[in-house]
Amino acid sequence: MATKARDYYEILGVGRQSTDKEIRAAYRKLARQHHPDLNPGDKSAEGRFKEIQQAYEVLSDAEKRKKYDQFGPNWEHAGQVPPQGTRYGGRTTHTTTDIPYDLGDLGGEGVDLGDILGRVFGGFGGRTSTQARPRRGQDLEQPVSVTLDEAYRGTSRLIEVLGEGGEPRRLEVKIPPGVRDGSRVRVAGEGGPGVGGGARGDLHLVIAVLPHPTFERKGDDVTAEISVALTTAVLGGEVAIQTLKGRLALRIPPETQNGRTFRLAGQGMPTLGGGSGDFFARVRVVLPTSLSPEERELFAKLRDRRPEVTEP
């Protein structure tokens, strides 16, 4: 018994009246959730990811979506003239010729109406050959997740694309340093195949930058909290801090208050146009614990000499 094809709208979790923007948002959310890179070894996630891509490829294309809404799972074959001898409802149809075009597209882009008529009436002085005008292939999108460290240094991914013969092949794609969440990396000529000898479309990698446990990114700037001992905050000193670039030494001036932020110019994210953002180090003063009797006595003397001042 044949398996019933799943509804593309159901796969993306959207309604039939959804806008292109709503469909795109649903696709990106589901693609990130089920992306093979985030679910290593999970075959069900890989299958779900391919299903999501297939649904989006159809519903994101206005022409394909219109046919899908009208004809359902058989939309790709809708409107084709049946070949000679095809049986419908117990009777046999006899057509002049088999036309490999969707008749709903007569006169549309990529279809030469004269060629079609010439093929149908070729025996009566019309043109006997048919040739679609070259048409560029469809641009495709594929989500790719990267860590903040990968976004900082640049990285590469192995992407599976369809070759000229329809066979899958692996393609290594380089992702440049500085990409942001939502950045698009264009891979020329690796999209959908062209029609009538037309060029292939492009493949666009839609980047999702994963959150980092320590660093917070805003544009090309990076912010992080740094721990500073109470004695260093009071008396001044030097602390080692970790940035995406590596470890750096930061000079802490005497009497540094909790929450003070220091700017390290050019130590943030690289920008796609060249240059770098800044790194902001926000001080978190760490109070000492497990005090010895002598240390407690010293703090008591300090308290007596510098009584707390209450703001009015």
Q: pLDDT (tens digit, 9 = 90+) per residue, 200-251?
A: 899 999 999 998 989 999 999 999 999 999 999 999 999 999 999 999 999 9
Answer whether residue 259 shows pLDDT above 90. Answer: yes
**Average model confidence (pLDDT) for the chain?**
80
CATH (residue range 216-305): 2.60.260.20
Give the Cα separation of 184 and 162 in Å (integer): 20
CB 68, CB 59: distance < 8 Å: yes
Domain at 135-210, CATH from 2.60.40.10, 3.10.180.10, 3.40.50.980, 2.60.260.20: 2.60.260.20
Which pLDDT belongs to residue 124? 45
Question: How far from 202 is each of 142, 191, 194, 264, 265, CA to CA, in Å?
Answer: 11, 4, 11, 39, 37
Which pLDDT belongs to residue 250? 96
Question: Model confidence over 138-183: pLDDT tens digits?
Answer: 898 889 999 999 999 999 999 888 777 767 888 899 999 999 989 9
Q: Provide CATH 2.60.260.20 ranges for the chain.
A: 135-210, 216-305
Query: Pairing state of beta strands 155-162 and 168-175?
Result: antiparallel
Nearest to 174 by CA among 164, 186, 162, 182: 186
Please give the average per-residue pLDDT across 23-50, as a whole number. 81
Tell me the residue length of the chain.
Answer: 312
End-to-end CA distance of the chain, in Å?
82
